[in-house]
Structure 1
Amino acid sequence: MATQKLYAGAKLRDLRTRMGLTQKDFAAKLGVSLPYLNQMENNNRPVSTTVVLALVQQFGFDVTELAQGDSERLVSDMREALADPVFADDAPPLADLRLTASNAPALARAFLELHRAYRQTHERLASLDEALGREGAQLRPSPWEEVRDFFHYCDNYIDAVDRAAENFATGALEHGDIRIGTMAGLERHGVTVRLSRTGPLRHFDAETKTLTLSALAAPSTQTFQMLLQVALLRQDQLLEATLDLARFQSEEARAIAKIGLANYFAGAALMPYTAFLTEAQEVRHDLELLATRFGASLEQVAHRLSTLQRPQARGIPFFFVRVDQAGTITKRHSATRLQFARFGGACPLWNVHRAFETPGRFLRQLAETPDGVRYISLARDVSKPGGHYGAPVRRYAIALGCEVAHAAQLVYADGQDLGQDSAFEPIGISCRICERTNCHQRSVPPLERRLTIAPHHRGTLPYEVN
């Protein structure tokens, strides 16, 4: 099998810029000619083995980052945006999209921002006159989407916050238990923790320094909420500095992101990076064992597994997603080549949708995407009771998976016939950018294919995809 060539021009330019080097100086340190470096930075030539070794020796660069850039997810996001009917037949070919994502990632992101603004304008057409009539009014990206993209393009790993959480956990565990240690840490700062059967999940009164938690919540949820409050009280400067670097376009987005970072801190403290990664490898990523060991919920464990992307200490590159009963994606992250639809639901052939039919059970699926990449996927419902009779139950399903190359490290792969082609079910991202021609669940035609309409013939679909 031919070795895949590595094109990483944007990464090389970024490293050179961060080091403050000219192309001439950078080429000299890498031991290549100036024209050769120029060709690599413009993706006219692949990165050679000699250059990879020089990057490690001269700069201590984590070479795995060269193959883990934003290129594939940018291509996926652009293809989905170009599936918008506004582009009709003017969508560029896939090769052009890949070239743009590799050579001009900033342009690709600008295009996505522009399309997002267009969508919001279109969706708010009924109130557009009012919006434009206000002095100084302007259309901005949805704060939720802006924050989602921030974590999405950070690979859902925030190094400074993760390490701060790990340091806090080390001190808290001196009390023998993260919950007890967290309560002790809050008390040292004059915060009183109390439980209440009424009221919200978490409420902090800054005047009296009282943190009130719902007594009806699960112990893992209570601990998580205490850790979240620790982040807001003790790590405020770190969170604000991280937000400054993100440069959000609105105060709403910044406020949402701050809560997101506090949640990130809580998860990273509840499941400290090094200890969690070691335990996950020892139990072969058994979610139930990890939940018991770290006093966390299954959803918290699955989400944490998808964040283990620390340089020089990476875990398995997982994808993680949570969907509601309508099929809408409410959380998503992928450290793999699998990307999720930015808008709408996930592929209906994916096992995450079947999890609602079998509550309390793990479902396993071997799946193959249209690009030929094969995955093992785990799905389960994660219903969240209201805590008392008559309270509404929030129902979700989560999916966690990775490429089959890592299957031996997962207990869930035991007994699966990984060598049988027929064992892998075909799945996609969204119908408009899925190239499968014979999918019985297709809802709309694929963007880049022509159709044949036969009035006197009807198969599974009312058209044939050419």
Structure 2
Amino acid sequence: MPLVGPRIRDRRRALGVTQAALASTLGISASYLNLIEAGRRRIGGALLRQIAEALDLGMDDLDGAAERRVLSDLAELAAEPLLVGLGLDPATAPDLASRHPGWARALVTLHRAWLDRGRTASALSDRLRHDPFLPDAVHKLLTRVAAIKSSAEIVQGAQDLPPEQLRRFAVIVGSDSQRLAELAQVLAAYFERAHTAVRSVTPVGEVDDFLADRGHHFPALEDAAEALRAAAGIAGDGARDAEAALARHLARTHGEHLAPGSPPMALARRAAELACGDGALADELRRASTLSNDAARRRAAQVLTDYLAAAVLMPYDAFLAAARALRFDAEALGRRFDTGFAAACERLATLHRPGDEGLPFALMRVDAAGYLSRRVPLPRLPVPRHGSACPLWAAYQALQSPGAIVRQLVEFPGGERFVMIARTVDQPGPGFPMPRRVASLMLACDALYADRTVYGDGLDLGSNAPALPVGPNCRVCPRTGCTWRQEDPMIDA
């Protein structure tokens, strides 16, 4: 949390509290508090709540999820080719975002507006080149202009034409002028209708921002899941225990009979829609101020419904207890709850109940074409919003070994070290003869926590241990001589 330290320092100074006094209140040493304020020590959980209470701040004020997104956006801004010559130092971005958040957001807003205008211009240019309507309409327009010009020249040059012929040419000119006006109106109407606006922030991006604002954890939906489990009479913890109970509940309460053999997740999703569509789900959507259009709201509704369904099949307390017992083994958890690897990974990334958290995991899902369809970043591990991540990340390596877990200890240019694991997952496809739909799902955690997971076993997690050198993505990675580089860095090392 690179911005938490400076925020604590600024708030402490504003209140006139010394480091020693605050450290004494918290029960930690002044030197440790100094490291926290300098951004050199991570904090979370109970200590973060203690600091928030001591400084009379809300947890949201200290967590800084929105500011971390601003940092990611500032890094993209600094990587613009137009700005490379200015020698912007990405390392100064946290100080700008912390001390002058309004200016930082203004820069990001201007950058996004600039991207919007550029992409809109490109889309319009592409439309002008490729839309078959335009050349056809212009051809007809020019044909009418030529016909009018020809008739007018005849009338002008022939002074001895009989009145009958002059009237005939006048009728022709009038008729062609009318058709020309109609064509011009059609062309004008086309451009009136053809609004081509391209947003730099897509509905997917807006939903990502919404989820990040909420810390990828929704207490109201967790409560709604417990209420739905009670209403459906689900006794056990696994999906198989829930399957029959949910089918009975749907039939008894809503008169719905899903096809025999429907997956438990489909049953839970439908039950969640019917039970909470006008309640907890609708309440969360109403609070989603970052969703600016119907497409984003529809996607958010789907994501929240999936979250609620997962909470029904993998209740928080039981899942967290099992995760700790199994040392956060996603495959073992998928078997334990009968939900599979992918659902277990998604659930691991949402265990953020204050005072009873799991481990902080980043999550990323990418398909064979490189499209990122799911991203849960960490404060020191930003998953790219646009384009692809570093090709050395486990998410991409797993696509070369379908079905096998790929594990890596990686180190970023700034010295941050993470354990990454990834595996391919099959997604429902259209059937033969279309190809399978395969994606790669990756979990990552800070190396500091790796010894608490099964994925740290057998790894030397010491700070001097060998690790795979990686970067965020090629555009902003300063590593030179990387044989995996796909494009030149925008910022010199």
TM-score range, shorter chain: 0.7 to 0.9
Q: Determine the structure 2 residue equivalent to 1:148.
A: 208
Q: Does structure 1 retain, via aligned residues, the 8 Å contact 2:78–2:90?
A: no
The correspondence for 1:356, drawn from 371, 396, 399, is 399
Q: Determine the structure 2 residue equivalent to 1:76.
A: 72
Aligned CA distance change for structure 1 residues 161 and 365 (closer, same or farther; 3 Å): same
- Higher mean C-alpha deviation, range 223-232 or range 87-96: 87-96
The correspondence for 2:247, drawn from 159, 174, 183, is 183
1:116 aligns with 2:112: yes
Q: Does structure 1 retain, via aligned residues, the 8 Å contact 2:403–2:424?
A: yes
**1:264-318 C-alpha deviation (Å, 9 max, x unpaired):** 2112222111111111001111112211221212111111111111211111001
State the Cα distance separating 1:425 from its structure 2 match: 0.2
Aligned CA distance change for structure 1 residues 111 and 352 (closer, same or farther; 3 Å): same
Q: Distance in 2 between matches of 1:267 and 1:133?
A: 46
Q: Determine the structure 2 residue equivalent to 1:242.
A: 284
Return the letter of the residue paired with 1:384. Answer: Q
State the Cα distance separating 1:330 from its structure 2 match: 1.7
1:10-21 aligned at under 5 Å gives the runs none
- Superposed CA RMSD in Å reads 3.8
Q: Distance in 1 between matches of 2:9 and 2:293?
A: 28
List 4+ stretches of structure 1 deviating above 6 A: 49-52, 57-61, 129-132, 135-138
Q: Does structure 1 retain, via aligned residues, the 8 Å contact 2:477–2:489?
A: yes
Aligned CA distance change for structure 1 residues 112 and 182 (closer, same or farther; 3 Å): farther
**1:208-267 C-alpha deviation (Å, 9 max, x unpaired):** xxxxxxx6xxx6xx2212222222222123222222221222222222211221112112
State the Cα distance separating 1:348 from its structure 2 match: 0.8
Q: Determine the structure 2 residue equivalent to 1:446.
A: 489
1:27-176 aligned at under 5 Å gives the runs 46=37, 53=50, 55-56=52-53, 66=62, 69-90=65-86, 92-105=88-101, 107-128=103-124, 133-134=192-193, 140=199, 141-172=201-232, 174-176=234-236
Aligned CA distance change for structure 1 residues 350 and 7 (closer, same or farther; 3 Å): same
Q: Does structure 2 retain, via aligned residues, the 8 Å contact 1:6–1:67?
A: no
Secondary structure of 1:121 counterpart: helix
Return the letter of the residue paired with 2:451. Answer: A
- Higher mean C-alpha deviation, range 357-366 or range 378-387: 378-387
Q: Determine the structure 2 residue equivalent to 1:373.
A: 416
Q: Does structure 2 retain, via aligned residues, the 8 Å contact 1:155–1:334?
A: no
Return the letter of the residue paired with 2:223. Answer: R
State the Cα distance separating 1:347 from its structure 2 match: 0.3
* Identity between Structure 1 and Structure 2 (%): 31
1:289-368 aligned at under 5 Å gives the runs 289-368=332-411
The correspondence for 1:230, drawn from 271, 276, 284, is 271
Aligned CA distance change for structure 1 residues 62 and 173 (closer, same or farther; 3 Å): farther
Q: Does structure 1 retain, via aligned residues, the 8 Å contact 2:411–2:467?
A: yes
Aligned CA distance change for structure 1 residues 61 and 120 (closer, same or farther; 3 Å): closer
Q: TM-score, normalised by structure 1?
A: 0.75
State the Cα distance separating 1:171 from its structure 2 match: 4.5
Q: Does structure 1 retain, via aligned residues, the 8 Å contact 2:410–2:467?
A: yes
Q: Distance in 1 between matches of 2:316 and 2:396?
A: 30
Return the letter of the residue paired with 2:83. Answer: F
State the Cα distance separating 1:99 from its structure 2 match: 2.0
Secondary structure of 1:346 counterpart: coil
Q: Does structure 2 retain, via aligned residues, the 8 Å contact 1:291–1:301?
A: yes
Return the letter of the residue paired with 1:246. Answer: A
State the Cα distance separating 1:57 from its structure 2 match: 6.4
Return the letter of the residue paired with 1:408. Answer: D
1:8 aligns with 2:7: yes
Unaligned runs of 5+ in 1: 14-22, 33-44, 197-214, 450-465
- Higher mean C-alpha deviation, range 315-324 or range 251-260: 251-260
Q: Distance in 2 between matches of 1:183 and 1:58?
A: 50
Q: Does structure 1 retain, via aligned residues, the 8 Å contact 2:247–2:258?
A: no
Q: Does structure 1 retain, via aligned residues, the 8 Å contact 2:408–2:419?
A: yes
Aligned CA distance change for structure 1 residues 76 and 278 (closer, same or farther; 3 Å): same
Q: Does structure 1 retain, via aligned residues, the 8 Å contact 2:116–2:197?
A: no
1:192 aligns with 2:234: no
The correspondence for 2:473, drawn from 427, 430, 438, is 430
Secondary structure of 2:74 counterpart: helix
Q: Distance in 1 between matches of 2:386 and 2:462?
A: 34
Secondary structure of 2:279 counterpart: helix
Q: Determine the structure 1 residue equivalent to 2:148.
A: none
Tell me how many residue pairs correspond in the alignment: 401
Aligned CA distance change for structure 1 residues 102 and 414 (closer, same or farther; 3 Å): same
Aligned CA distance change for structure 1 residues 117 and 186 (closer, same or farther; 3 Å): farther
Aligned CA distance change for structure 1 residues 175 and 158 (closer, same or farther; 3 Å): closer
Return the letter of the residue paired with 1:103. Answer: R
Q: Distance in 2 between matches of 1:66 and 1:9?
A: 8
Q: Determine the structure 2 residue equivalent to 1:460.
A: none
Return the letter of the residue paired with 2:458. Answer: G
Aligned CA distance change for structure 1 residues 271 and 80 (closer, same or farther; 3 Å): same
Q: Determine the structure 2 residue equivalent to 1:267.
A: 310
Q: Distance in 2 between matches of 1:106 and 1:365?
A: 38
Q: Distance in 2 between matches of 1:152 and 1:91?
A: 30
Q: Determine the structure 2 residue equivalent to 1:395.
A: 438
Return the letter of the residue paired with 1:375. Answer: F
The correspondence for 2:299, drawn from 245, 256, 259, is 256
Unaligned runs of 5+ in 2: 23-35, 128-189
Q: Determine the structure 2 residue equivalent to 1:35.
A: none
